[in-house]
Amino acid sequence: MGRKLGSVHLNRRQGWIQVFGYTNPSRRDQKTHLQYYSKLSNVTITAPVEGDLTIQDIKVPSQREYKGRKPVIESSLADTPCAELGIDGLLETLNSTLGTSFDLTPSLSSLFEAYICAKYDFGTAYGYLRPIWYDCDLNVIQESLRTCEVTDLKIRQEALVGDHITRDGLFMAPRRVWDLFSNRVVPWWVAKHTPWGISHAWMDKSLRENVDTPINRHQWPVPIPKDANLEYIRIELLNLGAEYAWLDVLCLRQKGELREDLRANEWKLDVPTIGNAYTLGKVVCYFSRLGRPLQHDGSSNESYFDSDRSWFKCTWTLQETSHDWMIGGDMGDQKMNREVQERFKLQLSSLQKALSQSADVFNYLSLVRGRAAEKDVDKVAALAYFLPCNSLPAHNDTRPSTSVTCSQSDGFTIEPTSTSIRTGDPTSGHIPAYSEQASAEDAWTALVNVMLRLSCSEMLFLYPEPGPELHVWRPSWKQAMSWKECSSAKISAWVEYDVDTGTYSYNDWHIDLVHVKGLAMPTATPRKGHLIVHGLDGEEHQCEISAGHRQAIPDGIYSLLIGHYLHQHKAPCVVGRLSGQMFTKISVIEMVFQEEKDEWQLLANYLKEIWGSNILVDSCIVFI
């Protein structure tokens, strides 16, 4: 078993959900339901076996049988058509299963008739009614369910603004959950109860099969390992204590011959918010694939945990990582369990290290670098779950931003400048919606558009190479995945994005003409060189510069954008060409100050020495 380390969140979104709940919150008071459950008779659910096999042939002991007082029904009862039971039979079966003696009402009768017409089985009807059976007024039960459905649909529709997910959409509950008591997948608006998250890495296509199952009402084929069984998984989860679970293959619409348009539309919201299903409840991790016993893969000498398809190398399992976790498929092998626990601790540690930096995009990129995904666009989507983002206005809302200017008295003033896209409007777009057809580069560009200003500044000032043709100032997705070294110093600079023009700008220190020398050869790092500037009096001024990378910067005349580090005696700079107000990045350097003083004061004095009193920065440099 894994150990509960406390309800510590790994990122801001998880923390928000843990404090305030989902946008469409739970209505359940589980204590009330447990009081009813304690009065019920014991039930036994035994795993099905085929052929000459016996129940002892099921490798995972906890997958063989469930016994308890909870109102869990047999799959045979769940599969019984409502039409076969009839209206009176439905009421009788519900009363006997849930320990009640309710009478039939016109509303309930109408609801039963609708279920019969819709060809529901008892499992589906039971899954819809059990969550509210003890609390709802049976005279208006049909209307109550309809209200819940309409409300949830409205919340999900409003969670998307164009190609972006709103702030409220970020905290959305999962669309569906697996009701383990009824053995049916039900909509969130039915259950409204925190699910346990089921985490696993997918097997290769050759080792899995698509299963047609009544659990999801045959809505799509469910891909699972060939040697796994959903009934076994259900029994194991019941034995662990779960009532509802979120399992991607059952609760996230999968590929199939029908309703591909509906799947693509649902995935826009559901894929970027997958991690929400793992935030409030326990997480069961199947480290040897879904439903399979925890053991090394005997088909090769390589440990399964070191393979490219390992749970520990899967991109999606990053957002499924939780402090409150347990092992699925537990065989009682203490040595194996300890190995898993140690590896899990390492993943938690790396996550916490990266996520402790609010705008350190380099550390966030390190989370997905080297991990496996079916498509590269999935890595971008996983990154978006963790990366702090700004918002894009839903209705062209603008608010004043600020820029830093240096006055003639060496002081700094804050004054309003051009439009800003930042807004606290919950209907504003915060992260890009998911598109399976998008390229990784397009998805990366959309994510950059909503990044924090500091994250953009880090890419501008710290990434040493020019980016792609249309976005030279920052790395492409391919370059970002190869970015393995970066200064650990904390940068302070402000890059702004104008949503109307689609341009990025830097409204701060810059020098139009400087001579850079000594960094033309890609020798061992750090390389040393000099920056030469001619003052207004024609006198030549020099400053030591360094480069902690191997990108060649030929000796020559350039323009310079200047930022600053926190608690460092040097200043980060971007070397490039300036044409009008358009800046094209070439590489990055650091200006090194010899005096032990505040670096901004040194920089202000330095520029004042060069330019006299004419050092007001009042123009915005736009870069590509």
**List of residues 6+ apart from 397 with CB closer than 8 A:** 423, 425, 428
- Is the predicted pLDDT of residue 285 greater than 80, yes or no? yes
For the ranges 10-24, 282-296, 351-365, the maximum mean pLDDT occurs at 282-296
pLDDT at 394: 42
Residue 97: pLDDT band by 50, 70, 90 thresholds?
very high
Domain termination site, one of 328, 356, 384: 356
Least confident window among 129-143, 384-398, 578-592, 610-624? 610-624
- Residue 405: alpha-carbon gap to chain centroid: 37
d(CA 379, CA 438): 12
d(CA 624, CA 617): 20
Residue 541: pLDDT band by 50, 70, 90 thresholds?
confident
Q: Are 387 and 320 in contact (CB under 8 A)?
A: no
Q: Looking at residues 212-232, what average pLDDT do you find?
A: 97
Give the total residue count for the chain: 624
Which tokens belong to 495?
């890059």
Q: Looking at residues 229-257, what average pLDDT do you find?
A: 96
Residue 536: pLDDT band by 50, 70, 90 thresholds?
low
Report yes or no on 402 lying in a domain: no
Widest Cα–Cα separation across the chain: 100
CA terminus-to-terminus distance, the chain: 52
Which tokens belong to 531?
């920056």
Higher model confidence: residue 393 or residue 446?
A: 446
Domain termination site, one of 356, 375, 410: 356
pLDDT at 491: 83
- Is the predicted pLDDT of residue 29 greater than 70, yes or no? no
> Whose CA is closest to 320, among 383, 278, 350?
278
Least confident window among 18-32, 210-224, 363-377, 475-489? 18-32
The residue type at 309 = R
For residue 403, list its beta bridge partners. Answer: 415
- In the 8-state DSSP scheme, what is residue 469? G
Residue 241 CB neighbours (<10 A): 11
Q: Are 259 and 269 in contact (CB under 8 A)?
A: no
At residue 104, φ and ψ (nearest 5 deg) are -75, 135
- Host domain of residue 264: 12-356
pTM (predicted TM-score): 0.88
Residue 411: pLDDT band by 50, 70, 90 thresholds?
very low
For residue 576, list its beta bridge partners. Answer: 559, 585
pLDDT at 617: 33
Report yes or no on 88 lying in a domain: yes
- Is the predicted pLDDT of residue 198 greater than 90, yes or no? yes
Give the three-state DSSP class for 556: strand
- Is the predicted pLDDT of residue 225 greater than 90, yes or no? yes
The single residue listed with the structure tokens 């330095």 is 606
- Is the predicted pLDDT of residue 395 greater than 70, yes or no? no
Cα within 13 Å of Cα(572), Cβ side: 27
Which tokens belong to 185?
């997948």
Q: Are 37 and 220 in contact (CB under 8 A)?
A: no
> Whose CA is closest to 280, among 26, 3, 27, 2?
26
Q: Are 405 and 415 in contact (CB under 8 A)?
A: yes
- Is the predicted pLDDT of residue 159 greater than 70, yes or no? yes
Residue 348: pLDDT band by 50, 70, 90 thresholds?
confident
pLDDT at 396: 37
pLDDT at 443: 97
Q: Looking at residues 210-231, what average pLDDT do you find?
A: 97
Higher model confidence: residue 377 or residue 29?
A: 377
**List of residues 6+ apart from 136 with CB closer than 8 A:** 144
Which tokens belong to 252?
């996230």
Q: Looking at residues 14-31, what average pLDDT do you find?
A: 80
For residue 495, list its beta bridge partners. Answer: 506
- Residue 209: alpha-carbon gap to chain centroid: 27
Residue 620: pLDDT band by 50, 70, 90 thresholds?
low
Which tokens belong to 356?
């402790």
> Whose CA is closest to 195, among 30, 354, 429?
30
Query: Chain-wide mean pLDDT for the chain?
Result: 85
Distances in whole angstroms, Cα of residue 32 to Cα of each of 189, 346, 371: 19, 39, 44
Distances in whole angstroms, Cα of residue 69 to Cα of each of 47, 72, 151, 234, 348: 18, 8, 33, 16, 36
- In the 8-state DSSP scheme, what is residue 545? E
Q: Are 363 and 357 in contact (CB under 8 A)?
A: yes
Q: What is the pLDDT of residues 551-565, one digit of tens each?
A: 999 999 999 998 887
Domain termination site, one of 305, 323, 356: 356
pLDDT at 30: 60
Report yes or no on 379 lying in a domain: no
> Whose CA is closest to 263, among 436, 472, 52?
436
Report yes or no on 496 lying in a domain: no
d(CA 25, CA 194): 9
Higher model confidence: residue 396 or residue 158?
A: 158
Report yes or no on 442 lying in a domain: no
Least confident window among 114-128, 319-333, 554-568, 607-621? 607-621
- Is the predicted pLDDT of residue 16 greater than 90, yes or no? no
Q: Are 487 and 548 in contact (CB under 8 A)?
A: yes
Least confident window among 44-48, 203-207, 217-221, 523-527? 523-527
Dihedral (Cα; 129, 130, 132, 137), 10-degree rounding:
60
Q: Are 284 and 317 in contact (CB under 8 A)?
A: no
Residue 501: pLDDT band by 50, 70, 90 thresholds?
confident
pLDDT at 392: 58
d(CA 40, CA 37): 5
The residue type at 344 = F
pLDDT at 208: 95
Of all residues in the chain, what percent carry a pLDDT higher than 90? 61
Report yes or no on 138 lying in a domain: yes
Residue 224: pLDDT band by 50, 70, 90 thresholds?
very high
Residue 417: pLDDT band by 50, 70, 90 thresholds?
very low
Higher model confidence: residue 358 or residue 548?
A: 548
Residue 142: pLDDT band by 50, 70, 90 thresholds?
very high
Domain count, the chain: 2
Residue 428: pLDDT band by 50, 70, 90 thresholds?
low
- Is the predicted pLDDT of residue 390 greater than 90, yes or no? no
The residue type at 253 = R
- Is the predicted pLDDT of residue 612 greater than 50, yes or no? no
> Whose CA is closest to 280, among 5, 23, 7, 3?
7
pLDDT at 391: 62
Q: Are 388 and 12 in contact (CB under 8 A)?
A: yes
Residue 298: pLDDT band by 50, 70, 90 thresholds?
low
